Amino acid sequence: MPVMNNSETTNTCTIINVAVNRPLFRDFAYKVNCLIGDECIGSRVLINFAGLSQVGVITKINPTIDFDKAKLKEAKLLDKQGIIPKDVIDVLKFGSGYYQYPLGQCFNVALPKLLRDGAPFSYEQIPALKLEDNLDEKKVEKLKSQEQIEIIKVLRQGSARRKELRERGFSSTQENALIKKGLIKLFNESIETKKFYENTNEILKETPPEPNLEQKNAIYTISNCHEFNTFLLNGITGSGKTEVYLRVIENVLKEGKAVLILVPEIALTPQTFDRFYRRFNVPVSSMHSALSDRERLDAYIDMATSKSGILIGTRTALFTPIPNLGLIVIDEEHDSSFKQNDSFRYHARNLAIMRAKLNNCPIVLGSATPSLETIYNVQKGVYQRIDLTIRAGGASVPKFELIDLRNEPLTDGLKTGICQTLEDEIGEETAKGNQVLLFLNRRGYAHHLVCHQCGHVFVCPNCDNLLTVHKKANRLQCHVCENFYDIPKTCYVCGNDELVEQGFGTEQVSEFLEHRYPDIGVERIDRDSVTTKKQLETKLNRIRLGTSKIMLGTQMLAKGHDFPDVTLVGILDVDSSLFSDDFRSLENTAQLLTQVSGRSGRGKKQGKVVIQTHHPDNLLINQLIDPNCNYMTIAEGLLETRKSMMLPPYSSQAFILCNSQNRTKAFNFLSDVYRKLNNLKDDYPNLALTHVLSDKMEKVQNRYHFHILVTSINRKTLNLFLTNVRKLVSEESLPNDVRFAIEVDPITMY
């Protein structure tokens, strides 16, 4: 046996590798003053790094003892065992390599803020509500507020966290009123150690509707899959996809396994939450941007300890520990919010599929308008497609109608976005007591302001972007940096006072509608008129109750909401999206219009979708209105075009991005990178680089943006090349104030 001179360190310490939150593609060796094993992989440690105390994550336990331990800095162990499980670490390792982002920084994105900051992995107090022990039923009968009656109904099924009630759309004012009346009481939820599958209760709280034949087929196919497989649940809006998820989830829960459901932020409405909370007796957790840091951590612990069996969340919920994961669902898989656009630029669909693979469980991608990438994978036989072609609950599919704006009189309405024919139809439908949804993806009053004399247009001083006129707020606003300015009285350039507003936005259209139909009730739904969840609920409630008959909105309205009495959907401006230089624009337009159209006729009444255009011959528009053509046909056509041009998904792309406050500095830096890459390039067959180009919007918030686009038909080649790009740049160490990033599989063009 070798003689150890420093017996203390040899016997009681362990050497670990730590990933740190720094832009560095390596981990660092530290020691902890105790003996630990692999159970601590994924534990956090407090380390001193470059003079700063910070939290890192253990990625490896080194069994070797022939290391000069005395020289290593000491780390303080924060968790007795890993709080990031192996499958999540492996997903992040994969993501780090695929998206060229340092693992330590990936951990930083994956962890809830409190854990990132070193807080203990434990609950504090969780405020919850329950019925009073001896509920005074007489008092309950006398309740007048519908909301209070509903709250009592929910609590009859068991206690609920305040967070749950908030998510289901109940207001704390009503809860407090009930507390005051002595009907319900506030308590701190006891931190049970019971796991969701140890509960002997029935899994269901309510009796679900009987699935139709298509739904049965989908439920059967997915539920019978007990290994990794990617399903595309391709169902038209209202076909009952969510109902299929709920049934499949029920089956997974019965096996004692847990479920992860990813949804776009915009779809997290009280109705969505309510469907899950109402259906299952199993605790449901959620994770999204409307939570406090504490609530996020609670949800993280709920899932990690199997207290909850269901997690509904947005993008980052993907990194939550879920032991015994039995199913992943990605609802609205085509939605762009699954892609993160800064720091760790991952696509949640991509990494979720990897996570399902690691857990050998099925994953369901649901959409009425699947992404071309997904359809391509179906065509290749990598994903399995299941169709839902009829609307559940007997609703019918809407009819389409085109209005050729060239034949319309130039009325005041047309100047504000609504032609005479549509104006008449709105009148007819609302007179019948039906509701109308108008879609315009442009907020503000007028798109921009121009001087009638000299033609000067008013541009944001910080960005290459036209300023939008907001009448009510009485200002010009930049929709990129959100800065605002006074509306000028005269032109800065020539002094003329004739300034013309050009292009209409939702604010102007709603002004016209309110003037034209003063008694009908118009709800404008966009980011200016709706700033809180509460406001949105109030507006939606007026629509549900029928006190308002017209709603006018941006894409805030396009998904997630059910309006059974809407019989007319009007698409006000399709033309501006038809001629974009982004090759994804037609795909996005087809998706958006199909989704909006799906809002019509969700109830028993026949719905109609009216599209106004100056380009009635446009191919996409004609496909949209053709009853023999559906989204899938359009998408397959678009894929053919992509193929002939070798665009994604037939090739792989990445952007090399760079920006600085100093234009020359950014340009020169990236040009220098370009020269080096161009020399490297010959080692990589089938790889193409563009020159250094300005972004479409070069100046954003006073920073100048440039890029190089890299394309390859081979993903591996692209990845190897990008690894070299990354090495090359990190070696050079960035000049002061130059920001650099690599974006793999971009979904928008720069």
Q: Contact positions toward ligand ADP, by CB under 6 A?
A: 209-212, 215, 235, 237-243, 392-393, 562
Count of residues engaged in binding Zn ion, rule: CB under 5 A: 6
237 makes contact, choosing from Zn ion, ligand ADP, none, with CB < 5 to 8 Å by partner type, with ligand ADP
Q: Which of 159, 171, 217, 462 binds Zn ion (CB under 5 A)?
A: 462
Our CA dihedral for 290, 291, 296, 299, rounded to 10 degrees, sits at: -100
Q: Of the listed pieces 180-188, 299-307, 458-466, 567-575, which binds Zn ion according to CB under 5 A? A: 458-466
Q: How far is the CB of 475 from Zn ion (least distance, A)?
A: 13
240 makes contact, choosing from ligand ADP, Zn ion, none, with CB < 5 to 8 Å by partner type, with ligand ADP
Residue 523 CA: distances (Å) to CA of 552, 553, 562: 6, 8, 15
Q: How far is the CB of 276 from ligand ADP (least distance, A)?
A: 12
- Please report the DSSP string for 308-363 in residue order: -SEEEESGGGGGS--TTEEEEEEETTT-GGGB--SSS--BHHHHHHHHHHHTT-EE
Residue 434 CA: distances (Å) to CA of 180, 554, 565: 41, 21, 6
Biggest distance spanned by C-alpha atoms of the chain: 99
CA 274 remoteness from chain centre: 19
Residue 480 contacts Zn ion per CB under 5 A = yes
Q: How far is the CB of 355 from ligand ADP (least distance, A)?
A: 23
212 makes contact, choosing from ligand ADP, Zn ion, none, with CB < 5 to 8 Å by partner type, with ligand ADP
Q: How far is the CB of 267 from ligand ADP (least distance, A)?
A: 10
Q: How far is the CB of 558 from ligand ADP (least distance, A)?
A: 13
Report the residue number, 467 or 596, with the smaller CB distance to Zn ion: 467
Binding to Zn ion, residues 225-244 (CB under 5 A): none
- Please report the DSSP string for 536-553 in residue order: HHHHHHHHHHTS--EEEE
Q: Of the listed pieces 351-359, 454-462, 550-558, 569-577, which binds Zn ion according to CB under 5 A? A: 454-462
Residue 478 contacts Zn ion per CB under 5 A = yes
481 makes contact, choosing from ligand ADP, Zn ion, none, with CB < 5 to 8 Å by partner type, with Zn ion
Task: Please tell me the distance from the alpha carbon of residue 390 to that of residue 409, in angstroms, as a whole number.
Answer: 38
127 makes contact, choosing from Zn ion, ligand ADP, none, with CB < 5 to 8 Å by partner type, with none
Check if the beta carbon of residue 365 is closer than 8 Å to that of residue 231.
yes
Report the residue number, 242 or 306, with the smaller CB distance to ligand ADP: 242
Residue 459 contacts Zn ion per CB under 5 A = no
607 makes contact, choosing from Zn ion, ligand ADP, none, with CB < 5 to 8 Å by partner type, with none
Residue 382 CB: number of other CB atoms within 10 A? Answer: 12
Residue 463 contacts Zn ion per CB under 5 A = yes
Report the residue number, 267 or 299, with the smaller CB distance to ligand ADP: 267
Task: Please tell me the distance from the alpha carbon of residue 325 to that of residue 100, in angstroms, as a whole number.
Answer: 27
463 makes contact, choosing from Zn ion, ligand ADP, none, with CB < 5 to 8 Å by partner type, with Zn ion
Q: Which of 262, 317, 330, 460 binds Zn ion (CB under 5 A)?
A: 460
Report the residue number, 240 or 313, with the smaller CB distance to ligand ADP: 240
Q: How far is the CB of 313 from ligand ADP (least distance, A)?
A: 18
Strand 325-331: give its sheet, edge to edge: 284-287, 310-313, 258-262, 325-331, 362-367, 229-235, 384-388
Residue 475 contacts Zn ion per CB under 5 A = no
Residue 476 contacts Zn ion per CB under 5 A = no
Q: Of the listed pieces 216-224, 452-460, 558-566, 678-686, which binds Zn ion according to CB under 5 A? A: 452-460
Tokens 């085109």 found at: 402
Task: Please tell me the distance from the alpha carbon of residue 280 to that of residue 258, in angstroms, as a whole number.
Answer: 13
Task: Please tell me the distance from the alpha carbon of residue 696 to that of residue 698, in angstroms, as a whole number.
Answer: 6
Residue 666 CA: distances (Å) to CA of 105, 271, 677, 682: 24, 47, 16, 25
Report the residue number, 161 or 275, with the smaller CB distance to ligand ADP: 275
Check if the beta carbon of residue 521 is closer than 8 Å to that of residue 426.
no
Amino acid at site 291: L
Task: Please tell me the distance from the alpha carbon of residue 311 to that of residue 302, in angstroms, as a whole number.
Answer: 9
Report the residue number, 238 or 413, with the smaller CB distance to ligand ADP: 238
Tokens, residue 548? 């308002």
CA 264 remoteness from chain centre: 4
75 makes contact, choosing from ligand ADP, Zn ion, none, with CB < 5 to 8 Å by partner type, with none
393 makes contact, choosing from ligand ADP, Zn ion, none, with CB < 5 to 8 Å by partner type, with ligand ADP
Report the residue number, 476 or 729, with the smaller CB distance to Zn ion: 476
For 640, the 3-state DSSP assignment is helix
Task: Please tell me the distance from the alpha carbon of residue 620 to that of residue 418, in angstroms, as a whole number.
Answer: 21
239 makes contact, choosing from ligand ADP, Zn ion, none, with CB < 5 to 8 Å by partner type, with ligand ADP
478 makes contact, choosing from Zn ion, ligand ADP, none, with CB < 5 to 8 Å by partner type, with Zn ion
Question: Which residues is 367 bridged to in the sheet?
Answer: 234
Sites of contact with Zn ion (CB under 5 A): 460, 462-463, 478, 480-481
